[in-house]
Amino acid sequence: MNETTVLRDLRMSRGWSLEDLADKLDGAVSRQSLHKYENGDSTPSPSVLTKIAHVFGVTPLELATGPDCLVGIKAFRKRIGLRAKDEKALRTQFVEEAQKRFAVQFKCEGQLRTQDKLQGLYTGEEAEKAASHLRRHWELGEAPILNLTAILEDHQVHVIQLEASEKFDGMCAVAKGASEHVRGYAVGVRRMEAGGRQRLTLAHELGHLVLDTEDEDKAFRFAGALLAPQKVMIRKLGEKRNRIKKAELDALSEELGMSPEAIIHRAHDLEIITKDSYTFWSRLLRRNGVKKADSIPKEDSTWLRRQVMKGYAERIITEAQACDWLGEEQFNLLAGEDTQTTQWDLRKKTKAERAELLSRAAAAAESYYNNDRFDCVAEAGEVYDDGGLA
């Protein structure tokens, strides 16, 4: 058992001390024993291993062997004041969540090697060209990207939202197997991020991967070019502007899904506005509080929920696995929304349970058809228009 890289990482990802973990094990294992497990000085018995795995919500095999792929963080962006302890917890939580998604990907999709290599795809190119090439590569055209999270997940870039303070901005990682083959990518953002800032952070972390660089300026330039292509900005604002009205800025912000601050920054990068104009707007937005919040709707990652429920529906994974990956509360909520009962499900139930299900179905059908629109009957040769309600 590689406790140093598995047990300790799981504990740190939750921000638990050794004492915390011992308490959650209800005294079954002492703090001293856990310390020995993590240092490799001692090995837990099978029963203790099972108890520890249960606390973390993983299988004993996963706790004993670790993940099938190595997730390496490419870039980590933070602000002054983020404590080393909090940074370490965020890194570990991000790696753990990424490994969970790779496990689901392999189990439910039957493959764990990315079909769309990104890392270093345009290494050495200017950020503007790289963003333009990626848009063509992903067939995005020049239209605004309505949902960047969905685009990333469609191209096997996992989006992970983390509970973190405002002192954390974002990070990205590459997963590789034992043979060094790239198995996937992941980007992490703060969960409570404003929508425009969230999208810019996602595009920024993608820039680190595509350009294979840790240079923050290049990644920011890539992000702006991806969300607001040069041709689009010139078409909307013109090649040169002396002044811009706030109503115009707000409309463009809403259309492109970028904060007003990011729009102004992009216009300055493209030399559409002067440095003085950029400074004026930057100060004004800061004074009005727009720099910390924007009106762009936040995006939600649905990939994990969709894949786990697909695997469960197709009986690729068990209910216990689905609960482990989604959490019991969320799984029960999602499973409870499924009102369809298959013939196979009915056959597994008792006679009384089948009768109860059929009775509820009959009551639901009676309520549905007991409606005025069903009183209208078309005569022979006529077509009755129900207004598209059927």
Q: How many residues does the chain have?
A: 390
On whether the CB atoms of residues 39 and 3 are closer than 8 A, the answer is yes
What pLDDT is recorded for position 384? 46
pLDDT single digits (tens) 308-365: 999 998 888 888 889 888 988 888 888 875 545 566 666 667 888 778 877 877 776 6
What pLDDT is recorded for position 342? 60
Q: What are the residues facing 160 on neighbouring strands?
A: 188
User: What are the domain boundaries of the chain?
Assistant: 1-66, 109-287, 342-390
CATH code that applies to domain 1-66: 1.10.260.40
Ranges of residues in the chain whose predicted pLDDT is under 70: 1-5, 13, 57, 65-68, 110-116, 119, 178-179, 289-293, 337-348, 364-390
What pLDDT is recorded for position 372? 53
Tokens of 178: 């034992």
What pLDDT is recorded for position 112? 56
User: Alpha helix (H) ranges present in 110-244?
Assistant: 127-137, 148-154, 195-211, 216-227, 230-237
What pLDDT is recorded for position 389? 43
What pLDDT is recorded for position 181? 78
What pLDDT is recorded for position 60? 81
What pLDDT is recorded for position 388? 46
What pLDDT is recorded for position 354? 78
Separation between Cα atoms, residue 94 and residue 78, nearest integer Å? 14
Separation between Cα atoms, residue 153 and residue 308, nearest integer Å? 14
| Short-list 320, 347, 196, CA closest to 263 | 196
